[in-house]
Structure 1
Amino acid sequence: MENWLIKRAKLDPNKVALILEHADFTFQELNSCVQLFASKLFTSGIRKNDPIALFSDNCFNGYVAILALQQLGARIIMLDTELSFDSLDYQINDCKPKTILISDSAPTAEIKKVAWNQTMISDILSLNKSSDYHPITEFDNNQVASILYTPNHNDNNDIGVMLTYGNYFFSAMGTSLNLGVNQEDIWILTVPIFNTPGFSIIMRSLIYGIAVYLIDGFNVEQLNKALINERATIISLTPSMLRELLNALPQGQNYNSKFRCVFLGYGLVDNWTLLRCNMLGIPVLQSYGMTETTSNIAALSFNDAENKAGSCGQPFFTEQIRIAEINQDNIGSIEVKSPTIAIGYLNKQQLYRSRFTKDGFFKTGDMGYLDEDNFLYLKGRKEELIYRGNKIIYPKEVENTYRSINGINDICIVGSPNGGDDQVPVAYLELQKNAYLSSATLKEFGRHNLIDYQIPVEFRLIDKMPKTTSGKILHTKLLQLNYKII
């Protein structure tokens, strides 16, 4: 396919492509900025197929750097700006980039400790443009567009997931057919650009020809202000981000008249949050996907949002989803076949091949079921299920039940050994300030809202839930924290 940015600048030169807090850029203006920056990257010595790591927050320069590296045909390795030194050091030594391109506004304390060639974006901007630079004319469907790291459940080392331009194109097609994206849509990008959902929004903007409203970090007041006063129509959020936005929404305020939906990813959302959104007239479309599937592969449509609340929707037109290894609860392993599946794991192709069935379906590691109308319901990660006697506990169900209690900021249910293969559920809690909840009160709540075997045997209070930047709770770190039994 023709270079996406250049193509879009030809088709819609005067259409707004990027919105910042104090400035708008048309596709023509954005393309001019990108080409100038790409020329300077060329001057610095970056060439086609070079692996370049990008360490950037959601800033204008980071956004432009992604598009500029694409103009050169470089392999972009996105680094999480909130990772520890050990994780960054492992990822850098795993991907071996030609250089680490660093945004001047990103937190650099940890990345600066990594012994590797590093280049500040401000240093690139000071270079002269090159007369020998020419952008690549075509994006090959099989060309690696990005490498994004995701946790590896087999060991403590993250995996570099290789996603192609073809992966992103088919992902955009599936999302568009489901959401009915139109030329007037403006997608708020507040999830990190170094994660698959954030990177995908940048790619969708070029494919759809829609504007991105770029917001750095998760500032609830700024986001609610933008959703109320600006012309944003779609926002991608995690369940925890959505809860925080609702808690901070000024009483009596509603989002702007053009706002269409919260596109919700990263797992299950509790019924209380959905009810609050319904009362406030905020459409919520739950979705399902992962890094290896180039973000979403299923999502609710507007027509089904009310009747199928709690579902992740039907598989996109581009996807095949099936349930395998169905257990006693009629829940099974979610498997998918799709053109959005990553082409490999960097330096771990044997592990990548092991994730596929003989007939080519990718084993996601998630559990769920399809109802009679082919709507997908997610029950949680396979390795997080708790086996108590002959019963199976799905932690997300228990967590979502307890989230309706006022005073609980977050909760995570884990299995604790109870002799042999038996486990019992234990709850880790993060409470709001001045909230007082006792173990007796929480167990009594459980007796009225859960089945006896689902009720946690212990409630452990912690200061802060350890999470990835995409909002997923880090279970391995959770078990290492100090806690107080309440």
Structure 2
Amino acid sequence: MYPNWILQRAYLTPLREALTYEGQTWTFNELNELAIKRARQLTALGIQEGDRIAIMGPSMPNLIVMMYACMHLQCELVMLNRRLSASEIAYQLADAEVVALLVADEDANKLPQNAPVHLFSVIEQGIEKEVTIAKEWPLEQTTSIMYTSGTTGFPKGVRQTVGNHQASATASVLNLGLHIGDVWLCAVPLFHISGFSILVRSLLYGNKVHLYEQFDVDAITHNIVNGDVTHMSVVAVTLERILHVLEEKNAKASSRFKMMLAGGGPVPVDYLQRAGARNLAVAQTYGMTETSSQTATLASEDAMLKIGSAGKPLFFNQIRIAEPNEQGEGEICIRGPHVTPGYIGRFAQKGATIDGWLHTGDIGYIDKDGYLFVVDRRADLIISGGENIYPAEIENALLAHPAVKEAGVCGKDDEKWGQVPVAYIVLKEPVSVEELISFCKHNLAKYKMPKEINFVHELPRNGSNKLLRRKLKEL
């Protein structure tokens, strides 16, 4: 048994600042008291200890309080992606067999009809019923359930336990270090593992979270330059937006800013080099929903020595490459205390691991020094004339051009070659297809050259801004 994170943090550092949002700040004790009040209100609605509860809302303080209330009741929290369609949400609600759905008022219109809804505003005005808050949690207790983005088949509901989250947070701090003044800027959705893990780290470490409802590049860049925050989690597209503003303003990150963790897929080397010029320390990470966030992270002192690497596995974790080819590339497999014990719903009988190893479906290799390099998703692999082509490699080549803001590549059926790569590009400034093709010839083999380049206003992304290559074909 381990301590209830919320009670323990409020006991240890009650007056320490825990959360800042739009100029308002809450201490750990204040958040705990609010969460206990909500737990009593939820109990009055008939929600009981251990119930499976779905929750949805924008990344605002009232969502955090509601989540903490459910955690106090040891409920299993099904984190709904508020960017999904009503039919997609309906699938997850049915698959998870939730007993109740807690929803922020502004998201009520996104729900399927006849959903068992409790609006935040109604809960917050409701009566309270006395409840005993558990002071300890078992490691095997399911804390959160998050659905994968469904790159292959139906989305899977992934269980994440107290032990999974604790192992992930502990391994991360052993890599990054900890200071009482650390402040983690959170501009990623709280329904996603990257956002939820920031809250877990805050409770375990005792550091403040500077919360944004949405990604506000100007305000966030101001925080980084002024030293208001010390850490942040990004994906490639949000990193590029921050870099663009820093370059426009000819500004550099404050010496107080320690590290930006970049996940959600390979980060173009050009972005890492541009970040270095702005004194912005960026460490590429590798993780997934099934691993409660990070599995591997590049140590800060290695950031410029192993550009493009996701680093080595964090302290308690192991990584191996299954069935490597002649170049050492194969499927990335993971083992450790942060790996999910399994799934729910239609995939409840599907084992998460094989002989203790999680098979990720990602392709990568480990170099002679033990550093992991993530090449691409196996599902996104393009096989052209018998040659393997990784979309990320072509995207990186395109993103190195100064006129390209975003790039996405997918395979298109071809009678002669089986598949050929096709690129979709969001521009910063006008450029011709011919110029981009000529530019790529310096960095790509002939068979890897995109056979088409299409200019679009935006690329399809999921709730965490991760590129959805499977949806590029729909463009």
**What's the TM-score once normalised by structure 2's chain length?**
0.96
Question: What does residue range 150-165 of structure 1 map to in structure 2 within 5 Å?
Answer: 150-155=148-153, 157-165=154-162
Map of 1:232 onto structure 2: 229
Paired residue secondary structure (2:188): coil
- Which residue number corresponds to residue 325 of structure 1? 323
1:350 Cα deviation from its structure 2 partner: 6.3
Q: Which residue of 2 aligns with 1:376?
A: 372
Report the secondary structure of 1:479's partner residue: helix
Counterpart in the other structure of 1:441: 435
> How far, CA to CA, are the matches of 1:7 and 1:278 in structure 2?
39
Q: Quickly say closer, same or farther: Cα 1:151–1:58, change in 2 above 3 A.
A: same
Report 1:466-485 matches (<5 A).
466-481=460-475
Cα root mean square deviation, aligned? 1.6
* Distance (whole Å) between structure 2 residues aligned to residue 226 and residue 129 of structure 1: 39
- Report % sequence identity: 34
C-alpha separation in 1, matches of 2:364 and 2:40: 48
**Residues 68-121 of structure 1 deviation map (CA, whole Å, 9 limit, x = unaligned):** 1100111111001111122111111211222211123x443322x332110111
Cα displacement (A) at 1:245:
1.3
Deviation at 1:225, TM superposition (A): 2.2
Which residue does the alignment assign to 1:459?
Answer: 453
Residue matched to 1:287: 285
CA distance in structure 1 between the aligned counterparts of 2:57 and 2:384, rounded to whole angstroms: 44
Q: Residues of 1 paired with 2:260 and 2:411: CA distance? A: 32
2:6 maps to what in 1? Answer: 5
Runs of 5+ consecutive residues of structure 1 not aligned to the other structure? 482-486
Match of 2:213 in 1: 216
SS in 2 for 1:97: coil
1 CA distance for matches of 2:215 and 2:113?
27
The one-letter code matched in structure 2 to 1:139 is: W
Does 2:128 match 1:135?
Answer: no
Task: For 2:392 and 2:421, locate their aligned partners in 1 and report how far apart those are by CA, in whole Å.
Answer: 12
Question: Which residue, out of 296, 299, 324, partners 2:297?
Answer: 299
Counterpart of 2:418 (choices 418, 422, 443) is 422
Contact 1:286 1:300 in 2 (8 A): yes
- Which stretch shifts more, 84-93 or 293-302? 84-93
User: Is the contact between residue 409 and residue 421 of structure 2 (CA under 8 Å) also seen in structure 1?
Assistant: yes
**1:182-193 matched pairs, under 5 angstroms:** 182-193=179-190
Q: Deviations over 1:103-153 (max 9, x none)?
A: 23x443322x332110111111111222x2121221111011011111233
2:441 alignment partner, SS class: helix
Letter in 2 for 1:454: K
Indicate conservation of the 8 Å contact 2:318/2:336, yes or no. yes
1:393-412 equivalent positions in 2, closer than 5 A: 393-412=389-408
1:356 pairs with 349, 353, 356, which one?
Answer: 353
Residue 302 of structure 2 aligns to a residue whose secondary structure is coil
The code of the aligned residue for 1:108 comes to: A
Q: Give, in whole Å, the separation in 2 of the partners of 1:231 and 1:101.
A: 33
> Contact conserved, 1:88 with 1:114, CA < 8 A, in 2?
no
Q: Which amino acid aligns with 1:2?
A: P
Question: Any idea what SS the aligned residue of 1:449 has?
Answer: coil
What's the counterpart of residue 263 of structure 1?
Answer: 261
Aligned match of 2:63: 62
What residue number does 1:121 align with?
A: 120
Alpha-carbon separation, structure 2, partners of 1:183 and 1:53: 34
Q: 1:420 to 1:452 in 2, by over 3 A?
A: closer
Q: Tell me the distance in 1 between the aligned counterparts of 2:57 and 2:345.
A: 24
State the AA in 1 paired with 2:146: L
How far, CA to CA, are the matches of 2:99 and 2:224 in structure 1? 40
What letter corresponds to residue 377 of structure 2 in structure 1? R
For the residues of structure 2 that align with 1:459 and 1:224, how far apart are their CA atoms?
32
Q: Which AA in structure 2 matches 1:337? A: R
Give the 3 Å change call, closer, same or farther, for CA 422–328 of structure 1 in structure 2: farther
Q: TM-score, normalised by structure 1?
A: 0.94
Q: 1:299 to 1:172 in 2, by over 3 A?
A: same
Q: Shift in Å at residue 414 of structure 1?
A: 1.2
Checking the alignment, whether the CA contact within 8 Å between 1:333 and 1:368 is kept in structure 2 is yes
Alignment of 1:72-111 (within 5 A): 72-104=73-105, 106-111=106-111
Q: CA deviation at 1:300?
A: 0.7
Deviation at 1:274, TM superposition (A): 1.0
Secondary structure, counterpart of 2:283 in structure 1:
strand
Amino acid at match of 1:363: H
Measure, in 1, the Cα distance between the counterparts of 2:297 and 2:157: 25
How many angstroms apart in 2 are the aligned matches of 1:110 and 1:14? 37
Q: CA deviation at 1:431?
A: 2.3
1:484 matched residue in structure 2 = none
Quote how far apart the aligned CAs of 1:420 are. 7.3
Aligned mates of 1:151, 1:108 — CA distance in 2: 22
1:36 paired to 2:30: no
In structure 1, C-alpha distance between the alignment counterparts of 2:250 and 2:274, rounded to whole Å: 13
The worse-fitting range, judged by mean Cα deviation, of 469-478 and 309-318 is: 469-478
Q: Which amino acid aligns with 1:412?
A: G
Task: Point out the more displaced range, 292-301 or 228-237.
Answer: 228-237
Q: Find the residue that maps to 2:78 and give its secondary structure.
A: strand
Shift of 1:421: 7.0
State the alpha-carbon separation in 1 of the partners of residues 343 and 243 from structure 2.
Answer: 38
Stretch of structure 1 that moved more, 120-129 or 233-242? 120-129
Residue 232 of structure 2: SS of its match in structure 1? strand
Question: Structure 1 residue 303: deviation in Å?
Answer: 1.2
Write out per-residue CA displacement over residues 396-440 of structure 1, whole angstroms, 9 at most, x where no aligned residue.
0110111011222211111222237732111122223xx333332
Q: Match of 1:245?
A: 242
Deviation at 1:175, TM superposition (A): 0.6
